[in-house]
Each structure stands twice: as C-alpha cells, then as structure tokens.
Structure 1
Amino acid sequence: MTKEVEAVHEQAAEYSRKDYTDPPPAPLIDFEELTKWSLYRAVIADFIATLLFLYITVLIVIGYNIKPMLKPASVCGGVGLLGIAWAFGGMIFVLVYCTAGISGGHINPAVTFGLFLARKVSLIRAVLYMVAQCLGAICGVGFVKAFQSAYYNRYGGGVNVMAPGHTKGVGLAAEIIGTFVLVYVVFSATDPKRSARDSHVPVLAPLPIGFAVFMVHLATIPITGTGINPARSFGAAVIFNGDKAWDEHWIFWVGPFIGAFIAAVYHQYILRAGAIKALGSFRSNA
C-alpha cells in the first residue's frame, strides 16, 4: 500500500513539473553586451528591416493616393485600403520571419518597449533597437521621397494624421487598442509555454503577428491611417515635415507605448500569473 501511495505521489510530481523552460530575465543594464558583435548585428538587422518596411509600405500608400488623380484607363484599379492593410501585414510577416533569429524581429519601438517591460531584452538593447528602428524608418521614407519626388509631398508622404470627423481622443484610443492587439499577439506567439504544449500544432510566430498587423490596419486606417509603430510614424513625419503631422504626432508615440504597456502587464502578470509567482517567492523568503 505504501509503495502504491509513493508511486502516486511520484506520478503527481512528474505531472506537476513544468514541460517548458522560461528564459531567465534579461539584466536591466548589461555593459558587457556592448562588447558583443551579436548586439550590433541585431541592431543592424532591425535597422535594415525597418528601412525595407517603410520603403515598401509608404510607396504603396502614395500609389494608392495617386490612383484617383489618374485617368481610369491608365490604371488597373489600385490596391485599395484592403491592399494597404495586406501590404503592412505581409511585410511584417516577411521581415519578422527573416530577422527573428537575429534581432527578434521587433521592427517597432512599441514591441521593443513591451518586451523590455517583460524583461525579454535589456535597457541597452532596447534603446539601441529603438534608435535603429527610427533611423531605418527615416532612411526608408527618404528613399521613397528620392524615387517619387514628383508625388511624395503632393500626396501626403505616407504621414499618419487624424482623419476628418475624428477627435484626437478617438485616435489615441485607436492607437492604444491597436498596439495592444499587436503586442499581445507577439507575446502569445513567442511564449515558450505555448511552444512546448502546442508543439503538435506547428505555429510560425511571424504569421499571427503579420495577421494582427493586417487586421488592426483594416480597423484603424479610417481613423488614424494606422500607426501602432512609432518608428513608422516618426520616419514619415521627419521626411514630410508638415505642421499637421507634427501637431498630432504625439498620438503615435503615446498611444502605442500605452498599448504595449497594457499588453505586457496583461500577458506577463495575469495570463502567466507573474504577480502570483512573485508574491509566492516573497512569502517563501520571508
């Protein structure tokens, strides 16, 4: 009887063991990281990825704005808002797929901020990523202006501004919710717990992330033109440099950062019970 009880306890202990491994939290500040080539390689990868992302997507936005001004016989209908949403989502899917193994494929300061709050990246890496993303965005939009100089300023330069009929409060809320969706999907798609327990269902992490970007664009293009990426909005605003773009630019930083903060707290401290684990660790040490 005793052996049976012991066997049951051993079996219960075996089932209670975690079948996944959470990576250790990244240090807040790691100066040794500055001596590693892997950091600079990752920064370069995010710079190039953001450059390509802005170059392709802003070209598509300008092409869409040019379409109504041309004769119907000279165009084939244009991509439309649905095509713009597919372009943003598709480019994120492709670029995250290419760079995930090098930099994590952030391509977005809001994503980097959310992952920093969750201790997935150090402060040094997060700051360098954000700088690289903003510089990449400026260069990407700069190439668009260089190649489409006849149309760039005339058709808005791909700048994020509030659509007529919507207040800044509505735009801020749209950016918060849209970024929450994106960053929440990033956390879920890269969760080691999900990867271990759903291994029988092969999930390519860049795919749901790209679809999240696509769906958010469908919902918020009519409101803000869809930012959810401060680097994307910043790069376009710097190159276009219009008064209205700068007047409303704060929305495209404050909204995404608030949305990323809420997503990080929700995933790490509610879904993953980080607060309960921290409390249990505190009590065990008391």
Structure 2
Amino acid sequence: MIFILVYCTAGISGGHINPAVTLGLLIARKVTLVRAVLYMVAQCLGAICGVGLVKSFQSGRYDRYGGGANSLADGYSEGTGLAAEIIGTFVLVYTVFSATDPKRNARDSHVPVLAPLPIGFAVFMVHLATIPITGTGINPARSLGAAVIFNKDKPWDDHWIFWVGPFIGAAIAAFYHQYVLRASGSKSLGSFRSSSNF
C-alpha cells in the first residue's frame, strides 16, 4: 500500500505521506519550512479523516482491533519502544534518501521511477520487526489519526513515543545521508579527480 501511495502521489507532492520523512527532507534542505509545515498539517488531517472513514465502514472490527491505535506492548519499556521507533524510522528515511538520490550514475537513471518499491519494502520490513513492540508507528500522522479517533487513555499515554522516535530517526538518517555519506563521497570523488590529473 505504501508503494502504491508513494507512486501515486510522487508527481503531486513528492510522495509526502509521513511527517518524519518530511522532516528528514527539511533537514536536508530538499523542502522549504513553509512547505514542510503545510505537508505535515495535511498529513495529520488526512490521517484523522482516513481513520474516521475506516471506523464508519468497519466499526465492529475497528473496536475489536483497538482502532489501529499505536501503544507500547506489555512487557516493553518506554526506552525500548522509543528505540524501536527511532531505528525503524531511520531505516525508512534512509531508504527514501537512497532511493531518490539524484546524484546516481547515468546507468541508474531508471531508479527514481522504481523508488516507491524499496520504500514500500522498507516499511514492510520495519513492520515485521516492530509490530510486537509498538504496533509500528514510524509515521506520526498515522499514529495521531488513530489516537484521535480511538481516543482511549493508553494510546494517548504512549503517544509521545510516536512523535519523538520517528523525528529522531528521521533527523539521524538525514544527517547521515547528507553530511556523512555525501561528504565522504564528495571527498573520494575529489581525490580521484586530482589523482587522475597526473
């Protein structure tokens, strides 16, 4: 589903359906602050409306499965839940940066067309790892939408994890990709060019 959503919205907004991804792109200076804020507001409103629709069409299952609201599973500490969200979001945002990197070689020019595919797989793999811990947030808007409509104490008590974790993970991924990998890649290319001049 993420693959389809990103593919369908890429030509409109760049596929922004997650405030954490938007934050990462803001840190990397790929979107302006105004645009990032507007995207995040739209993402949160869309998530609330989406959960409201699900509840109206599937009220029985909605209640049975806790409204899809994220909360920390029994037996896990807040630190573990926070770490799961940080790591999971790092994987997602790093994949977004890698899959959409415009500085790929000419031989990889087909990759931007396929960028939603690895992004979708990254979300799938993160879900496999973190569903037992937090129900997998990695998207603050989705977590907010479910918490607003379900409106029970447990999801609200744990809700901070689903904003702080993804934002930290996104920031680390943005800094790592832009200022560690890109910087070392530029230095390597520069030294190769200088050595080839001899």
Common fold, TM-score beyond 0.5? yes
Q: Determine the structure 2 residue equivalent to 1:248.
A: 158
Larger radius of gyration: 1
C-alpha separation in 2, matches of 1:200 and 1:123: 30
In structure 2, runs of 5+ residues without a counterpart are 188-198
Q: Determine the structure 1 residue equivalent to 2:88.
A: 178
Q: Percent identity?
A: 84
- Seen in structure 2, the aligned counterparts of structure 1 residues 247 and 212 have a Cα distance that, compared at 3 Å, is same
Are 1:99 and 1:105, in contact at CA under 8 Å, matched by a contact in 2? yes
Q: Determine the structure 1 residue equivalent to 2:37.
A: 127
Q: Determine the structure 1 residue equivalent to 2:115.
A: 205
Q: Determine the structure 2 residue equivalent to 1:144.
A: 54
C-alpha separation in 2, matches of 1:96 and 1:201: 14
Shift of 1:200: 7.1
Shift of 1:154: 3.6
The CA deviation string for residues 187-243 of structure 1, in whole angstroms up to 9 with x for no partner, is 000001125352377860000000000000000001100000000100000000000
Q: Which has the higher helix share?
A: 2
In the alignment, is residue 260 of structure 1 matched against residue 152 of structure 2? no
Letter aligned with residue 149 of structure 1 = S
Q: CA RMSD in A?
A: 2.0
Q: Determine the structure 2 residue equivalent to 1:217.
A: 127
- Seen in structure 2, the aligned counterparts of structure 1 residues 226 and 201 have a Cα distance that, compared at 3 Å, is closer
- Seen in structure 2, the aligned counterparts of structure 1 residues 195 and 186 have a Cα distance that, compared at 3 Å, is farther
> TM-score, normalised to structure 1's length?
0.63
The CA deviation string for residues 19-64 of structure 1, in whole angstroms up to 9 with x for no partner, is xxxxxxxxxxxxxxxxxxxxxxxxxxxxxxxxxxxxxxxxxxxxxx
C-alpha separation in 2, matches of 1:149 and 1:202: 39
C-alpha separation in 2, matches of 1:172 and 1:242: 20
> TM-score, normalised to structure 2's length?
0.89
- Seen in structure 2, the aligned counterparts of structure 1 residues 132 and 195 have a Cα distance that, compared at 3 Å, is farther
Paired residues in the alignment total 188
Q: What are the residue-to-residue correspondences of 1:154-165 with 2, within 5 Å?
A: 154-165=64-75
Q: Determine the structure 2 residue equivalent to 1:192.
A: 102
One of 83, 102, 106 as aligned partner of 2:16: 106
C-alpha separation in 2, matches of 1:271 and 1:265: 9
Shift of 1:164: 1.1
In structure 1, runs of 5+ residues without a counterpart are 1-90, 278-286
Larger RCO of the pair (alpha carbons < 8 Å, separation 6+): 2
Shift of 1:153: 2.6
- Seen in structure 2, the aligned counterparts of structure 1 residues 267 and 142 have a Cα distance that, compared at 3 Å, is same
- Seen in structure 2, the aligned counterparts of structure 1 residues 273 and 147 have a Cα distance that, compared at 3 Å, is same
- Secondary structure of the 1:194 match is coil
Q: Determine the structure 1 residue equivalent to 2:5.
A: 95
Letter aligned with residue 109 of structure 2 = S
The CA deviation string for residues 61-113 of structure 1, in whole angstroms up to 9 with x for no partner, is xxxxxxxxxxxxxxxxxxxxxxxxxxxxxx11001111111100010000000
Letter aligned with residue 255 of structure 1 = G
Q: What are the residue-to-residue correspondences of 1:62-81 with 2, within 5 Å?
A: none
